[in-house]
Structure 1
Amino acid sequence: MSENIKEPLFNLLHSVKRSLRQAIDSEGFGLTPLHMRVLKLIASQDKEYTANDIVQKTLIDKAQLARLIKELIQLEYVVKINNPHDKRSYFLGLSPAGSDVVTVLSAAESRVNEIMKSGLTDQEIADFSRLAKLMAKNLNRHL
């Protein structure tokens, strides 16, 4: 089968992005899905993140991430925390306002996720997740 999977994938990504933006805009935060992704990563409790850690985990361009972090700091959602092991870098943390935003955004993201999964079986969802990870791995090997 030589079906072009690019078009359905672009359509899905565009729909997800549009749905997330609509959910975020309805909350009035003025954030993009990329802001949301960075905030949620900073909020995760698995480790303290530096900007470089986020670049490596998300593959976001360094300059773009620097602008995003600057915007999130100006919005008072993110704070810089001194890195005791490396004076040249800092960890990123959420302010109390940032934590509140992440709580609201997580609920909006969950609603979008449930809408996206509606009508699909657990097996179809598992298959999609497995295939999407494999495709990303294939692409990332060639970067």
Structure 2
Amino acid sequence: MDNTNINNDVLKNLPSVSRRYLKLIDQKLATYQLSSSTYYYIIKLYEFGDLTQDKLVRLTGLNPSNVTRAIQKLIFLDYIKKIQNPEDGRGFILSLGVKGKQIYPIIQSTLLQVNDELLGSLTSTEKEQFITSINKL
């Protein structure tokens, strides 16, 4: 058997690791009716402040219709408020509600737990190397 090609597909496990990561996030945030596809908007609004939906789409790089669906759910759950844009009467500004501000530290803590759980088998040096390598991609 020729072993020279074994490492040619080094990224083949990345989708599997990503699915495990998202599944862990989904499980841990389910209590708050959040998921891996919704928590991200709370983080962005917390870190950047009030934003138009267009700006949020640009910041996330996600499909506008997916952003709209997620935002509607977060508004329904009272995590996000949608207010009239004072500078443009036709537009709206998205901001975190009280509940959204309260959930932010819980989301951050959850992400740390998930990272620890997912990367638990790595040494601290390996974790640092992994994070550095992933950030370079």
TM-score band by shorter chain is 0.7 to 0.9
Are 1:40 and 2:79 counterparts? no
Change in CA separation of 1:53 and 1:121 when aligned onto 2, cut-off 3 Å = farther
Shift of 1:55: 1.3
**Mapped partners of 1:101, 1:131: distance in 2:** 30
Q: Deviations for 1:9-57, whole angstroms, at most 9, x for unmatched residues?
A: 11110110111111112xx22221111111111111x443221122112
Q: Deviations for 1:82-133, whole angstroms, at most 9, x for unmatched residues?
A: 3333333322111112222223222222211222333434543343233323
Q: Quick check: which one's strand share is greater?
A: 2
Q: Give me the CA root mean square deviation.
A: 2.2
Asked which structure has the greater CA Rg, the reply is: 2
**Mapped partners of 1:67, 1:56: distance in 2:** 16
TM-score normalised by the chain length of structure 2: 0.80
Structure 1: which 5+ residue stretches go unaligned? 136-143
Change in CA separation of 1:93 and 1:119 when aligned onto 2, cut-off 3 Å = same
Counterparts of residues 117-132 of structure 1 (less than 5 Å): 117-132=119-134
Structure 2: which 5+ residue stretches go unaligned? none
**Mapped partners of 1:102, 1:42: distance in 2:** 10
**Mapped partners of 1:89, 1:126: distance in 2:** 43
Are 1:5 and 2:10 counterparts? yes
Q: Which moved more, 1:83-92 or 1:94-103?
A: 83-92
- For residue 50 of structure 1, the aligned residue among 49, 52, 62 is 52
TM-score normalised by the chain length of structure 1: 0.77
**Mapped partners of 2:61, 2:39: distance in 1:** 15
Aligned length: 132
Change in CA separation of 1:3 and 1:52 when aligned onto 2, cut-off 3 Å = same
Which structure 1 residue ranges, 4+ long, deviate > 4 Å from structure 2?
A: none
SS at match of 2:93: strand
**Mapped partners of 1:36, 1:122: distance in 2:** 27
- For residue 112 of structure 1, the aligned residue among 107, 111, 114 is 114
Contact 1:23–1:109 (CA<8 Å) still a contact in 2? no
- Counterpart residue identity of residue 52, structure 1: D
